[in-house]
Amino acid sequence: MLPWHARPLGDVLAELGTDPRRGLDEPEAARRLAVVGPNALAARQRSGALGLLLEQFRDVVVWVLVGAALVSGVLLGEWVEAGVIAAIVVLNAVLGFVQGARAEEALEALRRTTAPEATVRRNGHERRVPARDVVPGDMVLLGAGDRVPADVRLVDARHLRAAEAALTGESVPAAKQVDAVEEHAVLGDRHSMVFTGTTVVAGRGAGVVVATAGDTAVGGIARLMEEQEEEPTPLQRELASVGRRLALLAAGVAGLVFALGAARGYPSDEMFLTAVALGVAAIPEGLPAVVTITLARGTRRMAREHALVRRLAAVETLGATTVICTDKTGTLTRNEMGVQRVLTAAGDEEVAELDGEMRDAYARVASLCSDAHTGDEGEAGDPIEIALLRSVESAGVDPAVVRGRYRRVDELAFDATRKRMATLDEGDGALRMSVKGAPEVMAPRCHAILTTEGVVPLDDGGRRRLLDQAEELAAGGLRTLALAERVVEGATSRVLEDLEDGLVWIALVGLRDEPRDESPASVAEAKAAGVRVLMVTGDHPATASAIARDVGIADHGRVMAGRELQRLSEHELSEVAEQYPVFARVDPADKVKIVDAWKARGEVVAMTGDGVNDAPALRAADIGVAMGTGTDVGKDAADMVLADDNFASIVAAIREGRRIYLNLQKIVSFLLSANAAEVLLILAVLLIFGDAGAPLLATQILWINLVTDGLPVLALATDPAPPGIMSQPPRRTRSLLGAREQLRMLGRGAILAAGAFAALLYAHVVRDLPWEHVRTLVFTTLVGVQLGYVFVIRHEGHGWDEGRLPPNRWLAIAVAFSVALQVAVVATPVGHDLFDTRSLDALDWIVAAVVSALVPQSIRFLQRRDDAAGLVP
């Protein structure tokens, strides 16, 4: 039997039982789906529960702890201590596991909402269905920018070209057609088919699905379908490297302390325990898990704001965005168009008043050069085309009747670079070419104009007058479009592009597209937040400038037109970029240049795009933003997809990104200060009271890091955004852990340690209590100052005006719970056994409480002074 690409079309359709005009019926599609299974390649092997659990034990830190537990137990006979360390390690692994699973879940949910879809014909109607529900025999409709959902034998192809590089390595898109090709043709030469995982870059087509899932040509090359591995975000990478450095440092310091102690003749088992405690103190065990869960939770909150984040790193980058390049149509405006003005040679008229040949010609071009539908079944298609059809109806003509008289022979789909669309239709005994597009590209192609006296020639002066009219319409914020046509007689050339000259100008149309209600406020919010908003549009400069004024992007629009932009080098552009808030009549390729120019100035750039040619710009941007209604190609290249196409959602995502980053900043800063406090405390005590022993046990440190600090830190991640978060400029540093930050954390650590040290002085020097008792008080005081410090660090980064940050209920609950746990550890026999603690007396509790209240306050005081002196940004 011949392969699909070589068989006559009739055989293919018969074999698959498909009527191309009707497609499959729903019940039949459902039946086939049940038989062949979903159209999806086996997803990347997910780690699974066990894998995820084992992953928790891949961390070196865990093995350091396991080693410590073993040594404590086997060598030193400290079985309780060994057991507690082991239990805490397991607890940590379980926590990491739960959080990892939740992060994975959040990402999976996002993946589902951005899952690929396909347009199929079922029961004679076009429908969007999830790509995984496509079955053999389905009629699939394809347009520029679509991802091909299955292997398809083409039934109809209009200038259809597909990018197949991923499959064949061929970088030039392949032209497709419907005729069977030679049986032994290689994949790249099977022009009668399109394949799963490739994309349509131009034209339009339809075809019947011959293979899905594992049966497709890429079946083996799963790489194509596989989602990208989630890479660590910059912050996660930074934390990993800090973690490694701290582990090394810890090992070094611990080794040194152990060696020094041994040299001085201290008992080696005790020195060993101290060294282990130091090592444990230096490593922020819970940090990576908290960061991951915070980012993942962020994606869920952003999804609620209609911003679907496709990469975790985008959550982080969003908060640092300094420039948004946004398109106009549909993003700042509603994309609900209406024809407002129609200018013909007879004057400026209401469409309804057009008559005679003028009306017929208008109705013809608007109906034929269009893929939209209006009518009883609702409307579908490009908003511009829908508006044109509606205007035809209001002139008393039914577009369906016009279309009924013609048969479309060929077409050149609208393309943002060509800025026009053309169709070739046969009917009334003639072949007609209908073209519509941007007035500037249409005027040079028109040699005549339709008037009430018939067709009259058009000279340069006439063309200029038409463009002046277009300019005038555009200045009022209208989108402009010119309609033209010609009769093709005995055309020698069948190449459509060659026929696009010698047209007869029929009308100039002005379409209204109101700004969205929320656009001005969102633009203002972005500006107040120090984020520059630029409009980058394919539309006319005057239209762009009028809308830019309406939404507040620019009052006195300096507009750079695409043509000007193309003359500048990237360097020249970055020099002058600041003066131009609006870029109009740009081609998709120009967008890359704009992104690069702004990036060269050190800015963090978000760029929107929805078309088939926008992918490079989306990739080049720090945050590529695709539209929910945009092309598959755009979505694939983007970091974020706007479910509602709305500019306001970008600003909302930036606000959320800032909140998340601010909270991460608090968390990282808190945990590292806390760890610094523990290390400094142990070192200070060793230096000053050398023979007394460590002021904290390894188990106690683990308890602090993972339990009493762990819960409040998770709650910190839920801190609400301070009201002023969008009135501050974007953060300019890309690093949370710069030298200055590290120094500050060390300083904070020293102050926290000093608090615990004061408690030690009171218990050891003043009262000369037994060391276990001293240690218990130091342990409790350290927990206390750290819990107090949580409330101080909350206010960090927003001016210390407590009245303004709403309270955080979760934090209050978490801290209360941690206090209760600590009391249990100190005041119950079980706690005594596990953590080698002693009961504290009233005076001890008072000391712990007073220190816990005062020390964080002193940090707050110092911070206020720094703020006042402008030391901290």
Q: Is 82 in the site for ligand ATP (CB under 6 A)?
A: no
In the list 59, 81, 146, 385, the residue contacting ligand ATP (rule: CB under 6 A) is 385
Q: Which stretch binds ligand ATP (CB under 6 A): 76-84, 531-539, 736-744, 777-785?
A: 531-539
CA angle 430, 433, 437 (to 5 degrees): 160
Judged by CB under 6 A, which stretch of 313-321, 349-357, 416-424, 858-866 contacts ligand ATP? 416-424
What stretches of 283-355 show up as alpha helix (H) in DSSP?
287-304, 312-318
Strands 430-437 and 420-427: antiparallel
C-alpha radius of gyration, the chain, whole number: 34
Our CB check for ligand ATP shows the closer of 243 and 634 to be 634
381: left (phi over 0), alpha (psi -120 to 50) or beta: left
438 contributes a contact to ligand ATP by CB under 6 A: yes
How near is the Cβ of 807 to ligand ATP at its closest, in Å?
43
Instruction: Select from 94-102, 155-163, 256-264, 382-390 the region that touches ligand ATP (CB under 6 A).
Output: 382-390
> Is 538 among the residues that bind ligand ATP (CB under 6 A)?
yes
Q: Which of 414, 505, 762, 835 binds ligand ATP (CB under 6 A)?
A: 414
719 binds ligand ATP per the rule CB under 6 A: no
**Does the protein bind ligand ATP through residue 836 (CB under 6 A)?**
no
Element (H, E) at 590: helix 588-600
For ligand ATP, which is the closer residue by CB, 180 or 506? 506
Asked if 88 and 61 touch (Cβ cutoff 8 Å), the reply is no
Within positions 238 to 277, which residues make up the interface with ligand ATP, using CB under 6 A? none
Residue nearest to ligand ATP (CB): 538
The whole-angstrom separation of Cα 244 and Cα 240 is 6
User: What's the CA gap between 584 and 571, in Å, rounded?
Assistant: 20
Whether 138 and 120 have beta carbons less than 8 Å apart is answered as yes
Q: Is 327 in the site for ligand ATP (CB under 6 A)?
A: yes
Q: Are 411 and 422 in contact (CB under 8 A)?
A: yes
Reference 82, options 839, 838, 836, 837; nearest CA is 836
Distance from C-alpha of 532 to C-alpha of 434, rounded to nearest angstrom: 41
Q: Which stretch binds ligand ATP (CB under 6 A): 70-78, 234-242, 479-487, 654-662?
A: 479-487
Q: How far is CA 603 from the centre of its chain?
A: 18
| In the complex, least distance from residue 637 CB atom to ligand ATP, rounded to whole angstroms | 16
Question: Footprint of ligand ATP on residues 679-698 (CB under 6 A)?
Answer: none
Whole-number Å distance between alpha carbons of 644 and 335:
12
Q: Does 591 bind ligand ATP (CB under 6 A)?
A: no
Q: How many residues bind ligand ATP (CB under 6 A)?
A: 21
Residue 246 backbone class (left: φ over 0; alpha: ψ -120 to 50; beta: rest) = alpha
* 394 versus 629: smaller Cβ distance to ligand ATP: 629
**Which part of the chain contacts ligand ATP (CB under 6 A), choosing from 6-14, 220-228, 326-334, 563-571?**
326-334
**Considering only residues 122, 479, 658, 775, which one is a binding residue for ligand ATP as defined by CB under 6 A?**
479
CB of 676 to ligand ATP, least distance (A): 51
If the CB atoms of residues 421 and 745 are measured against ligand ATP, the closer one turns out to be 421
3-state DSSP assignment of residue 626: strand
Which residue from 18, 299, 367, 537 is in contact with ligand ATP, where contact means CB under 6 A? 537
Q: Is 156 a catalytic residue?
A: no
Per rule CB under 6 A, is residue 474 in the interface with ligand ATP? no
The least distance separating ligand ATP from the CB of residue 436, rounded to whole angstroms, comes to 5
Q: Which residues pair with 408 in a beta bridge?
A: 425
Q: Does residue number 382 form part of the binding site for ligand ATP (CB under 6 A)?
A: yes
In the bound state with ligand ATP, the residue whose beta carbon lies nearer, of 326 and 852, is 326
For 372, phi then psi, to 5°, come to -85, 165
DSSP-based helix, strand, coil % in the chain, nearest 5: 55, 15, 30
Closest to 588 measured CA to CA, from 373, 832, 829, 415:
415
Residue closer to ligand ATP, measured from CB, 151 or 587: 587
Cβ distance 236 to 290 under 8 Å?
Answer: no
Nearer to ligand ATP, 522 or 663 (CB): 522
Edge-to-edge strands, sheet with 582-584: 307-309, 640-642, 623-627, 605-609, 323-326, 532-536, 582-584, 559-561
d(CA 190, CA 208): 15
CB of 572 to ligand ATP, least distance (A): 23
| Residue from 436, 516, 635, 773 in contact with ligand ATP (CB under 6 A) | 436
420 sits near ligand ATP (criterion: CB under 6 A): yes
Task: Rule CB under 6 A: choose which of 96, 145, 173, 437 binds ligand ATP.
Answer: 437
Grouping H, G, I as helix, E, B as strand and the rest as coil, residue 20 is coil
Tokens, residue 485:
């046509």
Complex with ligand ATP: residue 212 or 326, whichever CB lies closer: 326
CA distance linking residue 536 with residue 531, whole number of Å: 16
Residue 416 interacting with ligand ATP (CB under 6 A): yes
Q: Residue 588 CB, nearest distance to ligand ATP (Å)? A: 8
Phi, psi torsion values for 126, nearest 5 degrees: -80, 140
For residue 631, the 8-state DSSP code is -
> Which region among 139-147, 170-178, 324-332, 722-730 touches ligand ATP (by CB under 6 A)?
324-332
To ligand ATP, the closest distance from the beta carbon of 589 in angstroms equals 12
Write the interaction track for ligand ATP spanning residues 480-509; mark x where CB under 6 A is met and - where it is not: xx----------------------------
Instruction: Indicate whether 419 belongs to the interface with ligand ATP (CB under 6 A).
Output: yes
In degrees and rounded to multiples of 5, residue 421 shows phi and psi of: -135, 145
Q: Write the DSSP symbol of residue 502.
A: S
**Considering the rule CB under 6 A, would residue 145 count as an interface residue with ligand ATP?**
no
DSSP 72: I
CA torsion sign, 625 to 631 to 634 to 640? Answer: positive
Question: What minimum distance in Å lies between the beta carbon of 386 and ligand ATP?
Answer: 10
Tokens of 872: 């901290």
The residue range among 430-438, 455-463, 841-849, 864-872 that interacts with ligand ATP, by the rule CB under 6 A, is 430-438
When the beta carbons of 61 and 384 are compared against ligand ATP, the nearer one is 384
φ, ψ (nearest 5 deg) of residue 250 = -60, -45
Residue 635 in contact with ligand ATP, rule: CB under 6 A:
no
Q: Which is nearer to ligand ATP, 284 or 630 (CB)?
A: 630
Residue among 164, 525, 539, 719 that touches ligand ATP (CB under 6 A): 539
- Return the residue of 329, 374, 434, 837 that touches ligand ATP, per CB under 6 A: 329
334 binds ligand ATP (CB under 6 A): no
Q: How far apart are CA 527 and CA 321, in angstroms?
A: 12
Which position among 138, 327, 539, 590 bears the catalytic label?
327
Question: Buried b / exposed e across 798-813, counting CB within 10 Å, b at 16+?
Answer: bebeeeebeebebbee
- Active-site amino acid positions: 327
**Under the rule (CB under 6 A), what is the footprint of ligand ATP?**
327-329, 382, 384-385, 414, 416, 419-421, 436-438, 479-481, 537-540
